[in-house]
Amino acid sequence: MEFEKNILCIGAGYVGGPTLAMIAYKCPQYKVTVVDINPERIARWNSDNLPIYEPGLDEIVKAVRGRNLFFSTDIERGIREADIIFVSVNTPTKTFGAGAGMAADLQYWEKTARQIRQYAESPKIIVEKSTLPVKTAHAMERMLQATNNHVHFEVLSNPEFLAEGTAIRDLEYPDRVLIGSRETPSGLKARQELVEIYANWVPRERIITSNLWSSELSKLVANAFLAQRISSINSITSLCEKTDADITEVARAVGTDSRIGDKFLNASVGFGGSCFKKDILNLVYICRYYGLEEVADYWEGVVKINDYQKERFVLNMLTAMFNTLAGKRICIFGFAFKANTGDTRESPAMFVCKLLLEERAELVISDPKALENAKEDLKGAQGKISYVEDPYEAVAGCDAIAVLTEWDIYRQLDFKKIYGSMDKPCFIFDGRNILDHRGLFEIGFNVFPIGKPPLTHLK
Ligand code: UDX
Ligand code: UDX
């Protein structure tokens, strides 16, 4: 069959894989190829055991793989054949040199630009999917044009707003698709070409266009605002705990103001995920680069509150459990950075577990999807750790449970049975406020929610 267009994506990660699978699913007229330097990842995309867990993803991949969706390691061929190239390689926080711990590490990004330049023989539209510092497109243009003068490249910015766990729904029914371009005739033409791809399933009024820099910056700002809401509500939890106010009641009262809105106001042990911290630090770094110290400090506060919240959680555990955790067995309910994903990048659980190990607690980690990653993350950690998927088995003989991911299964457990199998006194620290605290207290647990008065039997 003849395809109308060849679309390539470089980087088969959490963003590239699902996004391009959706394009292939909605647009049978295009041939979509996803390439990656990691052959194991590609092998898994071509198997029944996909490299990422995302509700609904298996069905979509099965429906289109081999029809118009292909996974490959042949980057060179992919580039040669493509009309449009999405770039979705990782852009982690730099760990070395200037801007270490803050700025985005653009080495993979630049390497990809060089590969495109080397192999491209016909005009290409390059689409930035990865989250990047504002003005990266300009660097990309210069890199692409440095030697390959006879081939025209048009760089677009099309940041991805999907959240993990709901990636398929977010891709199918996005709040908006954002496309930034140069406002030149060729830039506008390329922009229109990308609009037409999304218009195969996204209503036109949801496809927003802008200049390149607004688009690049909007992605950083959207993530910063979302994270800021969580830090705002979390900052109030400590005050609630001091004053007998209840954070759930405060969040409801505040969130019913339609100007504020009720989403993203769930108090927690802290936000995690591969994006929030990285993108805010990137924003902070850019502000400092331009000499905007006050602006940088303001946004840095969002990350500081998040670190404070995670430390505070462990300190609360320590204080509640008579100021010593040494030798105590603590069961961790949930290691993923949020429910419905196996992803553990920047998971608050990792941070909490490391602090608990420093206190010489023994850990039994349970999670329905993230144990493989948890083992990897805690590989070098000192201390006694075991990994048990079944929550009933995991809690047996433990002194305390810490709920760190809001998995539904934890709401439905038989806590009477659990209480019976634990050491006494029993503690529950609900880092997500998802359990029935009163019910647990009545069973006999000492219950420590976030931002609410504790319920305890201890005098
Ligand atoms: C990435 C970025 O980290 C994020 O900033 C952006 O918003 C979206 O893209 P993600 O998809 O979660 O996020 O990253 P990851 O799962 O690490 O996938 C990146 C993939 O790119 C990996 O599979 C990696 O092997 C691949 N890669 C990396 C290449 O194919 N070529 C390279 O040169 C480098
Ligand atoms: C986020 C953005 O939502 C998405 O638009 C962007 O493309 C990538 O970054 P993601 O990291 O997948 O997506 O998950 P998200 O649902 O935003 O949650 C991030 C973290 O915040 C999780 O650890 C989550 O548990 C926490 N969170 C979220 C809260 O603690 N409280 C809330 O009310 C909401």
Interior angle at CA 321, CA 319 and CA 324, nearest 5: 80
Sheet bearing 30-35, strands edge to edge: 69-72, 30-35, 5-10, 84-87, 124-128, 153-157, 177-181, 207-211
Starting from the CA of residue 20, give the closest ligand. Answer: 1
Sheet bearing 400-403, strands edge to edge: 385-387, 362-366, 329-333, 400-403, 427-430, 446-448
Q: Which residues contact 328 (CB under 8 A, 6 or more apart)?
A: 321, 361, 362, 399, 400
Residues 289 and 440: their CA atoms lie apart, in Å, by 51
Nearest 10 degrees: Cα torsion 439, 442, 447, 453: 90
Spatial CA neighbour of 430 closest among 353, 316, 328, 351:
316
Structure token pair of residue 372: 């493989």
The best mutation among 230, 343, 430 to test binding of ligand 2, ranked by most ligand atoms within 8 Å of the C-beta, falls on: 230
Q: What pTM does this model have?
A: 0.94
Q: Is the CB of 391 under 6 A from ligand 1?
A: no
Helix axes 293-320, 276-289, angle to 10 degrees: 150
Q: How far is the CA of 163 from the centre of ligand 2 (A)?
A: 7
Q: pLDDT by residue for the chain (459 residues), tens digit each?
A: 789 999 999 999 999 999 999 999 999 999 999 999 999 999 999 999 999 989 999 999 999 999 999 999 999 999 999 999 999 999 999 999 999 999 899 999 999 999 999 999 999 999 999 888 888 889 889 888 887 668 999 999 999 999 998 999 999 999 999 999 999 999 999 999 999 999 999 999 999 999 999 999 999 999 999 999 999 999 999 999 999 999 999 999 999 999 999 999 999 999 999 999 999 999 999 999 999 999 999 999 999 999 999 999 999 999 999 999 999 999 999 999 999 989 999 999 999 999 999 999 999 999 999 999 999 999 999 999 999 999 999 999 999 999 999 999 999 999 999 999 999 999 999 999 999 999 999 999 999 999 999 999 997
Residue 147: the pLDDT is 78
Q: Is the CB of 111 under 6 A from ligand 1?
A: yes
Residue 245: the pLDDT is 97
Let me know if 275 is a catalytic residue.
Answer: yes
Residue owning the nearest CA to atom 30 of ligand 1: 36
Q: How far is the CA of 271 from the centre of ligand 2 (A)?
A: 7
Q: Determine the atom of ligand 2 nearest the C-alpha atom of 348.
A: 23
Q: How far is the CA of 165 from the centre of ligand 2 (A)?
A: 10
3-class SS of residue 379: coil
Q: Residues lining ligand 2, judged by CB closer than 6 Å?
A: 160-164, 223, 226, 230, 264-266, 268, 271-273, 275-276, 337-338
> Which pairing describes strands 124-128 and 153-157: parallel, antiparallel, or unpaired?
parallel
Task: Single out the catalytic residue among 275, 287, 353, 398.
Answer: 275
CA 205 to chain centre: 27
Starting from the CA of residue 335, give the closest ligand. Answer: 2
Residue with tokens 């996005």: 174
Tell me which long-range contacts 409-413 makes (C-beta under 8 A, separation of at least 24): 409/368, 410/333, 410/334, 410/434, 410/435, 411/435, 411/436
Q: How far is the CA of 321 from the centre of ligand 2 (A)?
A: 30
Residue 134: the pLDDT is 87
Residue owning the nearest CA to atom 33 of ligand 1: 108
Residue 131: the pLDDT is 87
Spatial CA neighbour of 404 closest among 367, 441, 379:
367
Other CB atoms within 10 Å distance of the CB of residue 158: 20
Starting from the CA of residue 218, give the closest ligand. Answer: 2
Burial degree of 290 (CB within 10 A; 0-12, 13-18, 19+):
exposed
Starting from the CA of residue 78, give the closest ligand. Answer: 1
Q: Determine the atom of ligand 2 nearest the C-alpha atom of 131.
A: 7
Q: Determine the atom of ligand 1 nearest the C-alpha atom of 36.
A: 30
